[in-house]
Structure 1
Amino acid sequence: MSTIILVHGSWHGAWCWSDLARRLAEKGHSVLARDLPGHGEDKTALQLLTLEGYVQSVIATIDSVKGPVILLGHSFGGLVISQAAEYRANRIQALVYLSAYLPRNGESASDLTMQDKDSRVPSHLLFADDYSSFHINPETVEKVFYEDCGPENLMLAKSRLQPEAMGPFREKARLTDANFGSIERIYMTTLYDHAISPELQKKMYTLTPCEQVISLRAAHCTFVFDSEELLSRLVQLFPA
């Protein structure tokens, strides 16, 4: 049985997978969700964060288990799992993109964000004085990530979101057909997404075709507090 490795996106940590990871484990799956450097409980300084550092963290997780793995990346995590696939193509059964960046060779998260005319993210960012990091405005984060999560869950999420380093957003993916291109890709598009718009999602999975495209009736971060639809789809795709 493959191990499912869950890779979170910007401003979040492994905590965002708690509901899904628990439910997958109850279904008999082996699941790992760990903080990327500088996120969640990891205290790596913001100025030390790089895309390569994120990728090496995922590679270390892959190397810590035996057998094939499934990488599921959310949002910016899509860029991370894509680059990790370059280094461990022989270990990865599938790459799953959950409302995630799906880059082509030479593209960065910043490049993709600039193509997304319908994203609410740019208008809700707060930047550090030196522009080395940025944060989602806690007063308006609901409009970007958590529109369908309810007030109590929104308060919990706000208390856990952290600043994000700018550097990794500008770093470009270095991908090849021989490695990244050899792995099955599945895209899960979120129909009510205001962070990475459905239009950009469609553009990405059209330019980099996936074996399956699955539509979820969800906002960008619905799964954090209600993973039922996502769970159902994953169990269908990867029976325990």
Structure 2
Amino acid sequence: MADFLLVHGSCHGAWCWRDLIPELAALGHTARAIDMPSHGADPTPVSEVTLQGCRDAVLKACSPQTIVVGHSWGGYPISAAAEAQPTRIRALVYLCAYLPKDGMSMIEMRRQSPRQTIGDAVDKSADGLSYTVKPERVQDLFYHDCPAETVPYALSRLCPQAIAPQDTPLPLSDAFARVSKAYIQATNDRTIPPEYQKQMSFGVPEAMRHSIDSSHSPFFSHPGQLAEILDSIAIDLPHEGGAQATFQR
């Protein structure tokens, strides 16, 4: 079956995939989650976090058979990894994530959204290097449809998010375009507007576009359904040399 590598979004860590990993295992897949630099157990200082370092963390955990799932901001490091070493990745799955446009940073892409949802929900650090999400906004933004225990579990683990990698433009080429891609839109998302996700999903083939009636955190709210969608994606992936989506310019 498939080998999945799970890459978290802003302020999260490998811990957020807690409920999805056993669901994928029950379907016969292997699934691993990693901490991005400065998140979870990773000791990298926030001041040293770069998009290149996040990219390299993804590549280090990949094999040519790996399907890499990126959540939210995680769409950027997985795309950077595919651009750098496309033969080391079987496919990319964007889970309510930013699917980059050539030469744009994540912050620039967020500003192109038809609605801004998080501007008043974050606090920038005194040194200007990172931000955190206000605790009173966490449930509404990320977990409004999740089990009650999700919020205290997450609040004890959420961490500062380095700004520099999210403010770094990502040039893309035909190397990135050659990698198979799928998109999973969360239709009840309060962080990345669903209509913007739908727009970004046009960067993948129509047959590889999926949706889930979930908040920004389907790995907590609907882990079983999410695992089934990922299972379907793994089955439907084109064989090597099959048609791929053209990256967005």
SS in 2 for 1:111: helix
2:205 is the alignment partner of 1:210: yes
Q: Encode CA deviations 1:95-126: one digit per residue, 9 max, x unaligned.
A: 11000000111011101111124242112011
The alignment's TM-score, normalised by the length of structure 1, stands at 0.92
Distance 1:202 1:235 in 2: 21
Amino acid at match of 2:205: C
Partner of 1:13: 13
Aligned letter for 2:112? Q
Separation (CA, whole Å) in 2 of partners of 1:147 and 1:118 = 19
Note the aligned Cα RMSD (angstroms): 1.5
Structure 1 alignment gaps of length 5 or more: none
Scaled by the length of structure 2, the TM-score of the pair is: 0.89
* Alignment counterpart, residue 156 of structure 2, candidates 130, 153, 159: 159
3-state DSSP class of the match of 2:31? strand
1:185 aligns with 2:181: yes
**Helix, strand or coil at the partner of 2:68:** strand
Could you tell me how far apart the structure 2 residues matched to 1:222 and 1:205 are? 17
2:26 aligned residue: 26
Asked whether the equivalents of residues 19 and 225 of structure 1 are also in contact (C-alpha less than 8 Å), the reply is no
- Alpha-carbon distance in 1 for matches of 2:110, 2:198: 14
What corresponds to 1:70 in structure 2?
Answer: 67
Distance in 2 between residues matched to 1:165 and 1:89, nearest whole Å: 26
CA–CA separation in structure 1 for the residues paired with 2:140 and 2:22: 27
- CA distance in 2 between partners of 1:84 and 1:225 (Å): 28
User: Residue 94 of structure 2 corresponds to which residue in structure 1?
Assistant: 97
Match of 1:196 in 2: 192
Distance 2:2 2:223 in 1: 20
Query: Following the alignment from structure 1 to structure 2, what is the Cα–Cα distance between the partners of residues 204 and 123?
Result: 24
Q: 1:140-166, CA deviations, whole angstroms, 9 ceiling, x for partnerless residues? A: 111111111143211111111001011
Paired AA for residue 224 in structure 2:
E
Corresponding residue of 1:112 = 109
Partner of 2:241: none
The question of 1:144 aligning with 2:141 is answered yes
TM superposition shift of 1:225: 4.9
Query: Aligned partners of 1:19, 1:36: CA distance in 2, in Å?
Result: 19
1:226 and 2:222 matched: yes
2:122 is the alignment partner of 1:125: yes
Amino acid at match of 1:41: A
Secondary structure of 2:182's aligned partner:
strand
Percentage of identical aligned residues: 38
CA contact (8 A) 1:184 1:210 kept: no
Structure 2: where are the runs of 5+ without partners? 236-249
CA shift, 1:209, in A, is 3.5
- Aligned residue pairs, count: 234
